[in-house]
Structures are given as structure tokens and as C-alpha cells.
Structure 1
Amino acid sequence: MKHVYLSTPSTEFQNEYLSFYREWVDSGEEMIPWVISKDPSDFQGMVQSLLDAENGDDLPDGWVPASTYWLMDEEQQVIGAVNIRHRLTDDLRNAGGHIGYGIRPSERRKGYATQLLALSLEKAKELGIERVLVVCDETNTGSEKTIRNNGGIQDTNYTEENGNVVLRFWIHV
């Protein structure tokens, strides 16, 4: 496995991010975390919106400040992305959690998700979040394993209106 690190979104990595984005779109899978579904056609504007969200600027009603990072390797390939919400709303407490993360399809099952979550927990601690809520769908056994590998203690499940069961885990950082 390659050495990886978290990077703040930057226009410097436009080509690498667009490769990541296109691979995910071509896979036809749901884009997780949600921030990677942002249209990158105005790349500078997209990056600025991510940076603004970290400061709580121009957020839609009911949204909380959130920090986004890209998981990158030594070649500056974007391997994954994470969105760290600075606090929880009732909806996030039920089904969103503090941290949403995803690994590009071609790099899965290599241990990167576990590393991404571990690095994200360090960032959450820097933000002053001592108890982090991380969630996944009941059917996502890979994510459940990743959360448990990072010390996740299961809490009560949440069932969404459509019947989807969300597993909820707390991690002390």
C-alpha cells in the first residue's frame, strides 16, 4: 500500500481530481461523500465552495460547517475524499454522522478506507470533536469493518423512511 495523506482541496490538483471524479461517474455508483457529486466544470468555483463550507460561509439553511479533504498518494493521485461535519444536527445524528468518506472504485479493498478514516479522526480531534459519530448502511460491510477497525462502538441503528437501516458508531478521539 502506498503512503497517503490528506490534502485540502486545491486547483493545483485539478487533473488528478477530475480523474477521480470521472472514474466514479463512469462506475455508476452513488457518490459518497456527497461533496464529490459537486459539478467540477467550474473547478475553481467548486474548490472555493468547499473552502467556504469549512468556514461556514454561504451554507444552505440547516447545514453545518464542514471540512473536505482529498486522500492523496505520493504521485498526487486522488484516492479518496472525506467530508467532516463540525457539529451534528438531528438529521446528521440519525443518518449522516460527523464523517462521510469514500474511496475511488479502482483503489478499494486495499486498506485505504481504514487509513482515510484514521486520518479523518485526527482532523476531527483538531476541530475539537472528542466523540465522533460515523455511520454506514447496514448493507455496507466494508464500511462497517473500516469503522470497527478505527475503534467504532456501535450505537442504536436508525431506520430511514425508505426502510434503509443505518448503523451508527461512536469513536472517542
Structure 2
Amino acid sequence: MVENVQLVKPTVNLRNEYLDFYQEWKDSGEDMVPWVISKDPSDFQGMVQFLLNNEKGENLPENWVPDSTFWLVTDNNRVVGAVNIRHGLSEKLFNCGGHVGYGIRPSERRKGYATKLLALALEKTKELGINKVLVVCDQSNLASERTIIKNGGKQDASFTEENGKVVKRFWIEN
């Protein structure tokens, strides 16, 4: 059963909880998803400011779209997941990134958090005026595919990256 959770914007107030989340993911050796959680948190205040600037569209690299990052936090402030919501789609995001990237820390998987995280993220996309949301996953990530389908995802054509990796693409009407 999923604990009571909510999405919160990155904040220095959750520094220790976030660092615990980050370190667990680093120790697992897995790819860090969404990409924003791979950002080095040693300058924690700077990292939080970077994320908040991205949301405002400030100091973005060329060809980047503004994005919002939220942490999935339990009632006792444990950071169990993160989501990055792109406010629009570049060609690359249309092919293999989507509007929403999300991840759950390794020790908290298979408990329903991903489904809840995506549902809460879809509320945020609606607030941003995104009515048709693209969510993608690697062809091999069956858990993510199930999560997307549980949240109303309808499969579209897959995209094959230059390295041969197949990305499954799903649209969710918001």
C-alpha cells in the first residue's frame, strides 16, 4: 500500500532526505531517471536553484524547453521518487523523451509509487495546459510500461535511437 505522498518542488529544507535518495540511487549503479537526479548535489542550494531556474526558462541550454521538477515525498519527508515535466517538446523529446520523466528509488519500487507519481504528474501537466501528454519508456522496462498504461497511456509508434535502443511512446489525454 502506498503511503500518503505528495509532489513538492525542490527545496533546501529537504536536503538530507534528498541526499539519502540520491546516494541510494548512486549506490545501485543504475541509470538515474529522470535525468535531473543525476545532477551533482554537492552544491545543494545551487542544484535547487538550477531546477527552479529551468522551470522559469532561465539560463537554458540551446534547444531546451522549460521544465518543472518535483520530488515525491512521504508524510515523514522521505523522498521516494522524482519527476521532471517538460513544458513543451523539442524534436528529441518528441521522439524519445516525452513530456514526463520519472523514477522511484530502488528500495521503494513495486509498491505502487510510480503509478501514483505519474498520476500526480498528470495533474501538474494539466495545470501547465498540456492536454495531450507524451510519456515514454525503454522497450525493456515493462514496469514503466504498465505504469503508463494504468494512467491511460495509448501506445503510439516506437522510436529507435541511433544505438538501436527502442523507446516505446504513449499518449495520455489529459
TM-score, scaled relative to structure 1: 1.00
* Residue in structure 2 matched with residue 21 of structure 1 by the alignment: 22
How do 1:5-154 and structure 2 match up within 5 A? Answer: 5-154=6-155
- Secondary structure of 1:63 counterpart: coil
Structure 1 outlier segments of 4+, above 3 Å: none
After superposition, give the CA deviation of every residue in 1:106-134 in whole Å (9 maximum; x if it has no partner). Answer: 00000000000000000000000000000
Q: Report SS of the residue matched to 2:51.
A: helix
Question: What amino acid maps onto 2:46 in structure 1?
Answer: G
Structure 2 regions of 5+ residues with no counterpart? none
SS at match of 2:130: coil
Compute the displacement of 1:62 (Å). Answer: 0.5
Shift of 1:9: 0.3
Distance 2:70 2:50 in 1: 13
Per-residue deviation at 1:164? 0.4
Amino acid at match of 1:2: E
Partner Cα separation in structure 1 for residue 25 and residue 64 of structure 2: 25
TM-score by length of 2: 0.99
Shift of 1:85: 0.1
The percentage of aligned residue pairs carrying the same residue is 65
Letter aligned with residue 69 of structure 2: T
Task: Compute the displacement of 1:151 (Å).
Answer: 0.2
Report the secondary structure of 2:72's partner residue.
strand
Segments of structure 1 that go 5 or more residues without pairing to the other structure are none
Q: Which amino acid counterpart does residue 31 of structure 2 have in structure 1?
A: E
Superposed displacement of residue 102, structure 1: 0.1
Question: What's the CA shift for 1:157?
Answer: 0.4
Following superposition, the deviation at residue 167 of structure 1 comes to 0.3
Aligned-partner Cα distance in 2 for 1:163–1:41: 34
Take 2:140 and 2:29, find their aligned partners in 1: how far apart are those partners?
Answer: 18
Structure 1: how far apart are the matches of 2:166 and 2:69? 26
Return the letter of the residue paired with 1:141. L
The size of the alignment, in residue pairs, is: 173
Secondary structure at the residue paired with 1:114? helix
